[in-house]
Structure 1
Amino acid sequence: MRNDTMPRKNWFDAGGSAYAQFRPEYPAGLSTYLAGIAPTREMAVDVGCGSGQLTRQLARYFDSVIGLDPSEDQIANARAHDKVRYLCAPAEKLPLADNKASLITAAQAAHWFDLPAFYAEARRIAVENAVIALISYGVLRLEPDDLQERFIRFYRNEIGPYWPPERKLVDTGYPDISFPFDERAAPEMEICRAWELGEFLGYLSTWSAVRRVNDAGREDILTGFVRDISELWGDPTRKRPVSWPVNMRLGTI
């Protein structure tokens, strides 16, 4: 039976504002842990910060935090914090002084970088024994199983061909990515949320594969998925459990 209470809108017409609204926040324990292993708490630098999901959390623990992203749209939609300064800049050319950062993070972003160039910049701006963390979260998990099964079919088969090759690095947690640092084990963490249907679809709207589907004129893929997932979800205001595994490559510079 069709869920006719679902608002009729284009859930997949998204920009930086959708990213800021719908991308999930990281667990509080992540920033607590990273601050605990940094050699000082003077400065943290979040590269590829997007709209600042992790950047703001780091501000709880560091005297100052710099968030950098090459997208003016993302920076324009980043939420302000009195200890955070946002700059529009690429990972490969950081507009920061030498030997200043105690922690350098890249959250859900490193797969887009020219890694040798980024690593050279990270070494340049780092203090002695600074921590570098490449953070990602994997494929989401929905409950119950019928929702998960329909989502996985959408993710792997229907929009799978539209994912850029770099997405595979995220799905696997960066195990094969170049990481020339003294590496340390990372704790297990998970992002857990309870979302209404609109929040779930809003999150999907931020995906690069979804934008490519739209650009290819295959809106039928998206509307078909919205129809099916709405029917399975039931009441669109009902909150369903959503979770993601958090993966990290941690090292000392």
Structure 2
Amino acid sequence: MKDLFSTQAKQYAAFRPVYPEALYTFILQHVKEKGAAWDCATGNGQVAQVLATHFERVCATDISQQQLDHAAPAHNIVYAISAAEQTTFAPHQFDLITVGQALHWFDLDRFYAEANRVGKPGALLAIWGYALLYIAPGIDEAITDFYENTVGPYWDHARRLVENQYATLPFPFERIAAPPLNIEVTWTLEHLSGYFSSWSATQKFIKDKGYDPVPAFIERLAPLWGQGEHLVKFPVFMLAGKISNAGARA
């Protein structure tokens, strides 16, 4: 199991973008019963906290205790350490299973089998991610250079799946077409800096080179950024489908 986010769990909780309300609206309209949901690879619990306002019970799992330490508690959320591919959940108990920005780290065959095992017949499996942000042409060019050339060699190969927006991944479920979505946030340059620091590639760069490349990059970016805040957009992509439990493990 790859754990590339425990080191920067605090930055991850503070600076990662928040998913739009439209994403949850789409998901919830395809869920008939709202008894139990499993948020797999929950990280700091961002998705679990929203689901907790709609479901009687939410199970939120992650392989990183440091990430879970930064998750906000709720009376109907149970946080637990667990791999995506093998859980202790009873069969056929979840009405919804969600995975936000994490599927590319999984053993797909084993995770899909586990989703079939623990999901109810007809439950929704909703998986999504977000691509590289964009702001304005000059700023975008600088960010792309930092992404590809400065920390580029330190991205795990699984990142390519995100760049391809999961288009090459198998998805053996009754598919539901998702609408075009974007994350839209208003950030200061300081917040953008914190977001870059949360990247796994940035942390690998620091470990290898012995220094943080973000401050120097932010200094170069500052004249292009100017004063105040900017609207930052992240394209969201999604795989959504119904679980049939065909071939599920007992």
Scaled by the length of structure 2, the TM-score of the pair is 0.90
Q: What do you get for the CA RMSD once the two structures are aligned?
A: 1.4
Quick one: distance in 2 between partners of 1:246 and 1:118? 22
2:153 maps to 1:161: yes
2:190 maps to 1:198: yes
- Tell whether the 8 Å contact from 2:35 to 2:95 is kept in structure 1 after alignment: yes
Partner of 1:214: 206
Structure 1 residues 49-73: Cα deviation after superposition (integer angstroms, max 9, x where no partner): 1001111111221111111100000
Partner of 1:174: 166
Deviation at residue 32 of structure 1 after TM alignment: 2.1
Quick one: distance in 2 between partners of 1:220 and 1:130? 44
- Tell whether the 8 Å contact from 1:35 to 1:58 is kept in structure 2 after alignment: no
Partner of 2:123: 130
Amino acid at match of 2:150: E
Quick one: distance in 1 between partners of 2:37 and 2:114? 14
How many residue pairs get aligned? The number is 237
Deviation at residue 74 of structure 1 after TM alignment: 0.5
- Tell whether the 8 Å contact from 1:134 to 1:248 is kept in structure 2 after alignment: yes
- Tell whether the 8 Å contact from 1:51 to 1:75 is kept in structure 2 after alignment: yes
Partner of 2:246: none
Partner of 1:147: 139
- Tell whether the 8 Å contact from 2:202 to 2:212 is kept in structure 1 after alignment: no
Quick one: distance in 1 between partners of 2:99 and 2:109? 14
Aligned sequence identity (%) = 35
Q: Give secondary structure in 1 for the equivalent of 2:185.
A: strand
Q: Give secondary structure in 2 for the equivalent of 1:50.
A: coil
Q: Which runs of 5+ in 1 are unaligned?
A: 1-13
Structure 1 residues 193-227: Cα deviation after superposition (integer angstroms, max 9, x where no partner): 11011111111111110011101116374343122
Q: Which runs of 5+ in 2 are unaligned?
A: 1-6, 244-250
Amino acid at match of 1:137: Y
Partner of 2:248: none
Structure 1 residues 82-129: Cα deviation after superposition (integer angstroms, max 9, x where no partner): 222111111011221111101111100110011111111111111110
Residue number among 80, 92, 108 corresponding to 1:87 in the alignment: 80
Residue number among 20, 45, 57 corresponding to 1:52 in the alignment: 45
Amino acid at match of 1:68: T
Quick one: distance in 1 between partners of 2:25 and 2:77? 17
Partner of 2:55: 62
Q: Give secondary structure in 1 for the equivalent of 2:209.
A: coil
Partner of 2:179: 187
Scaled by the length of structure 1, the TM-score of the pair is 0.89
Quick one: distance in 1 between partners of 2:161 and 2:210? 25
Amino acid at match of 1:52: G
